[in-house]
Amino acid sequence: MSLLGFQRALAAIVADPGLRRRAMERPAAALPGYDLTPRERRRLADMAGQRGMALNCILHRANRMTPLHRLLPLTCAALGADLARVVDLFWRTHPRTNMQFADEIGRFAGFLKERLAAGEPANPLAEEVLDFECARFHLRFTRPRRGAEGGEAAVGAAGGAPALHPRVRVVAFRHDPERVLAGLAAEGRPPPAAELPEGEHYLVLDGRHEEPRISRIGAPLGRLLKRLEAGGPPGGDAEAAAALARTGLLAPAPSAGTEARR
């Protein structure tokens, strides 16, 4: 069906300004591999040259940017002048999208973490801000129906070891999270690096409420909770175990005979 070829080619032109230029300049050669009738090739060449195609390309990029701006605004602010370049590279690396916000955020988060790990860009704040926003997004968009929270199965390792409640996330920061997040939210940029000495900080996001409740916890407890979040044993002594239990952040123990699941 050549209409399929036409639509594939048209969508490709909209997503790729470079392809649009080639379709305008060398229409016969620009779209090899697409099943097109002569009329469709003429149509695409004509459409590529219309002023409206530039707008199509702009709107495509704006629509792809929407989930990032809407759901990762602080991460976008933390990237600052690097944002345009990072997003451009993301789109060239992942030219296809299903436009589902959750999938797009997940894909971008994975991509950005790889780039940050490679130091491209070198940005000491972006990863922890990204982790925070991804955790918050996950809790907001996976909130169970009112009244159903109690039905959520407990998570527990074999032998009844403690486990983090599935509606709780722990985010580690190397910089003061309150200063970083407040600065990004208020000013659209992070505080100057000189004002942010490195340290060990933890935020807990408790998604068992209408909106995730965010609180700060000390480093010793934060480390324990992060180990639980990763599925491992918390370690520590009896005093640490008691402190964990007092947080109210652990999953309820599975009842006898039921299978724990996440």
Partner 1 sequence: MAPPAADSPAAAAPELGVGLLYNRAVAQFLRFELDGLDYVEFIPDLLRTDHGPGRAPRFTGIEEQIELMDWVAERRPVIAHSIGLSIGSAGLFDAEYVEELARWQRRYRFPWHSEHLSFARVPGEAGADHHAGIALPVPYDRETLDLVAGRVRRVQEAVAAPLLLENNVYFTEIPEQEMSEPEFLNALATETGCGLLLDLHNLYTNARNHGLDMAGFLDALDLSRVVELHVAGGNEVEGMYVDSHAGPCPGEVWDALAAVAPRAPNLRAVTFEFDESYYPALGAEGVRAHLDRARAIWARRG
CB of 126 to partner 1, least distance (A): 25
- The residues binding partner 1 (CB under 8 A) are 1, 3-4, 6-8, 10-11, 14-15, 39, 42-43, 46-47, 50-56, 58-61, 63-64, 96-103, 140-146, 210
SS3 assignment, position 65:
helix
Judged by CB, which is closer to partner 1: 169, or 223?
169
* Residue 75 parent element (H or E): helix 73-79
CB of 245 to partner 1, least distance (A): 29
Report the half-sphere exposure of 102 (CA within 13 A, side-chain side): 8
For residue 17, the tally of other CB atoms under 10 A from its CB is: 15
CB of 27 to partner 1, least distance (A): 13
Q: 71: burial class by Cβ within 10 Å (0-12, 13-18, 19+)?
A: buried
Judged by CB, which is closer to partner 1: 61, or 208?
61
CB of 199 to partner 1, least distance (A): 35
- Alpha-carbon separation of residue 190 from 86, 172, 226 (angstroms): 18, 17, 25
CB of 212 to partner 1, least distance (A): 12
Judged by CB, which is closer to partner 1: 142, or 233?
142
Judged by CB, which is closer to partner 1: 37, or 215?
37
- Kindly state the tokens that stand for 112: 């950005």
CB of 106 to partner 1, least distance (A): 11
Contacts of 26 (CB under 8 A, 6+ apart): none
Using the 8-state DSSP alphabet, how is residue 188 labeled?
S
Judged by CB, which is closer to partner 1: 115, or 138?
138
SS3 assignment, position 147:
coil
Judged by CB, which is closer to partner 1: 97, or 247?
97
The C-alpha atoms of residue 249 and residue 170 are separated, in whole angstroms, by 10
